Amino acid sequence: MTKRLGKQTVKLQNPPSVISYAAIVGPKEGNGPLGKYFDQVLEDDMFGEKSWEKAECKMLQETIKLSMKKANLTTEDINYVFAGDLLNQIISSSFMAREIQIPYIGLFGACSTMAEALSMAAIFIDGGFADFAIAATSSHFSSAERQYRFPLELGAQRPLTSTWTVTGAGATILGTTPKGNGPYITHITTGKVIDLGIKDQFNMGAAMAPAAADTIRAHFEDTGFKPEDYDLIISGDLGIIGVDLTTKLLKEMSIDISETFADCGLKIYDTEKQDTHAGASGCGCSASVLNGYLIKEIINGKYKRILFVATGALLSPISTLQGESIPSIAHAVTIQRTLK
């Protein structure tokens, strides 16, 4: 039986339940408006390791361990871990999976990875291929800066369109419906790669906005839902510029999401006080906001139904040097409190 709905969406027949979730973040994120929501705030972003890359990997590992501990699950119970990150060859994820011995599917979707991983985990469970699966991702300000932009030691000035990469990791454990009490994953819209020609690597918001708008449009078209069917439509890390552009692009398509639209990248920092310019970004942004704040507030009843739309800019330093523009993608996942 097909579970397809329109061109880009699937409707889950046995919507997987969130079984557990955890988020660990760095000191700057702990000092932000969502600080109290996270399971752990690092005192030092080196996390006792010798490099930022090793610190990021440890943060991802500890977040996954914590998510298992919170649900009394062990690696023996979990059938798959879906993970990815921003580092070359997704080493945070692969080295995590060396320690956490669960069959591993490595993903790359840049900052869309949390939604990508959540989609895979949900589909594997709904289809009967897994009882429990973990979706997880991480990013680290310092490892990302030196890989994508400049060595931190250089002290390069950041343009006002730039975003601040979140030091943080998030993990969600999904399980079959009878095993959990929600929230539930009900619909998944997988994005296409969209590139309207933005070449400025310090303006990811503008590059990703067309992809966010396209996936949100596809979601409404495929499902027949309307913006008012959601209490919250939240993008991954579009930042100030991307949110504005996405809202405008959707208005041109006669879709008005302005009432319920928010962005993880604008929630995690006090942009002005914390000097983060256009907002936050990085896989860890939407991952920690989802697994720190959003799922808790769904459970608490603040939100009944949200559309989680993580967005990714699929550039590399090499593609930028070779004169390429920035292809982007967004994946959307419907998360709701109950199955009614």
CA distance 21 to 67: 5
Among positions 132-161, residues that touch its own copies (CB under 8 A) are 147
Stretch of 50-58, 155-163, 167-175, 294-302 lying at the interface with its own copies (CB under 8 A):
50-58
* 30 is an interface residue for its own copies by CB under 8 A: no
Minimum distance between the CB of residue 317 and its own copies, rounded to whole angstroms? 7
* 206 is an interface residue for its own copies by CB under 8 A: no
* 190 is an interface residue for its own copies by CB under 8 A: yes
Residue in 46, 91, 262, 299 binding its own copies, rule: CB under 8 A: 91
Q: Between vectors from CA 332 to CA 328 and to CA 335, what angle results, nearest 5°?
A: 155
* 314 is an interface residue for its own copies by CB under 8 A: yes
Minimum distance between the CB of residue 296 and its own copies, rounded to whole angstroms? 28
Burial 204-238 (b: 16+ CB within 10 A, else e): bbbbbbbbbbbbbbbbbbbbebebebbbbbbbbbb
* 46 is an interface residue for its own copies by CB under 8 A: no
Stretch of 115-123, 234-242, 253-261, 285-293 lying at the interface with its own copies (CB under 8 A):
115-123
* 199 is an interface residue for its own copies by CB under 8 A: no
Residue in 195, 200, 256, 297 binding its own copies, rule: CB under 8 A: 195
CA distance 313 to 338: 33
CA distance 261 to 227: 9
- How crowded is residue 43: how many other Cβ atoms within 10 Å of its Cβ? 11
Under 8 Å CB-to-CB from 127, ≥6 apart: which residues? none
Stretch of 29-37, 45-53, 160-168, 236-244 lying at the interface with its own copies (CB under 8 A):
45-53
Our measurement of the distance from residue 74's CA atom to the centroid of its chain's CA atoms, rounded to an integer in Å, reads 24
